[in-house]
Amino acid sequence: MKGPLFSIRMRASRDDAHLSGAERLVDVSTLEKVAAEMTRRALQHAHGQADCIRISIDLVSPDTVLILPLPAMTTIRVPDFRSGRTTALNLLKAAGVAMPAAESALAAIAGGASPSGGNMRGAMLVDAVTGERLEPDSRRGIRVSRMDLTPEAERELRLELEKLGLDRPQVREALVLSGKVLAAPGVVAELCWSDDPDYPAGYVAAPQAGYVRIPALKPLGDNRGGRAFFVRGNRLDLPGLINFLECRPVLFDRPGRFHPDRDMER
């Protein structure tokens, strides 16, 4: 990467409902290419073609960029999505999330976490002890932005993922997003699954466990998905946390460790 970094963000909607979004941090020589890729992606989304696509580009001030390694990654094999959800709840519990809080967040994602019953554009913020939802706008949620891989880290990551048969944009983007979420002050865990009806996988991420993939967290064909960030701490600075997640530029300069696949515990 040469010269100053730019944050480039895309969001696409149809009939005012969120369709897709993307966020990258790139140098000026890459901006046009990424803008074109984002446009194509918005037009080809599995939920349908967008009628509104917004792309914003902002210069990032170099002294605010945090440089981190990606989290470690594991896959836990599960026979079906119900076992996947049980596995997710157990991982959240191990990360310090109270079981009722984990269960209610999982149920919210499963049922469409926006007040309209649809998917949120961003993530829920959930109190890990009480289960209370803390995001100021529960339709929009918290949108994590301004994070990316360096080009070298991207090459290395793709080589490693390729060996595992996992070199897909969904996996790369989710790893990057979870890496930023785990670096946020007060976050103890994340739960996520895709909103793409053809993509049933999701993950739980936590500081100790890293990024734990779960190949099925919903039935195929289901177009609901979402994210919950679990937070705790008696002096939690909510505005500071939201500002970090939405605005602090974070670049990942190397992959984390890759642990062998495991089978779910019975």
| Positive or negative: CA dihedral 160, 164, 170, 175 | negative
Considering only the stretches 84-92, 119-127, 194-202, 215-223, report the one whose residues sit in contact with Mg ion under the rule CB under 5 A: 194-202
CA distance 147 to 45: 22
Residues that bind ligand WAQ (CB under 6 A): 21, 23, 119-120, 122-123, 142-144, 170-171, 174, 177, 192, 194-196, 199, 201-203, 213, 225-227
Q: Check: CB of residue 149 under 8 Å from CB of residue 176.
A: yes
| DSSP reduced 3-state for 251 | strand
The CB-of-59 to ligand WAQ minimum distance in angstroms stands at: 20
- Output 7 or 119, the one with its CB closest to ligand WAQ: 119
Closer by beta carbon to Mg ion, 37 or else 196: 196
Question: Most distant CA pair in the chain: distance in Å?
Answer: 52
Q: How far is it, in rounded angstroms, from Cα 262 to Cα 266?
A: 12
Beta carbon of residue 124, minimum distance to ligand WAQ (angstroms, whole number): 8
Phi, psi torsion values for 242, nearest 5 degrees? -65, -40
Could you identify the residue written with the tokens 């194509």?
A: 40
Q: Are 191 and 202 in contact (CB under 8 A)?
A: yes
Among 11, 195, 204, 241, binds Mg ion (CB under 5 A): 195
Q: Which does 6 bind (CB under 5 to 8 A by kind): ligand WAQ, Mg ion, none?
A: none
Picked from Mg ion, ligand WAQ, none, the partner binding residue 202 (CB below 5 to 8 A depending on kind) is: ligand WAQ
Structure tokens at 3: 């010269």
Which residues, 13 to 52, sit near Mg ion by CB under 5 A? none
- CB 217 within 8 Å of CB 84: yes
Nearer to Mg ion, 196 or 246 (CB): 196
Q: Which is nearer to ligand WAQ, 29 or 243 (CB)?
A: 243
Q: Which stretch binds Mg ion (CB under 5 A): 90-98, 147-155, 192-200, 202-210?
A: 192-200
The yes or no reply on residue 196 touching Mg ion (CB under 5 A) is yes
Q: How far is 145 from 157, CA to CA, in rounded Å?
A: 20
Specify the amino acid at residue 111: G
Q: With CB cut-offs between 5 and 8 Å by kind, which of ligand WAQ, Mg ion, none does residue 227 bind?
A: ligand WAQ
Q: Which residues bind Mg ion (CB under 5 A)?
A: 195-196
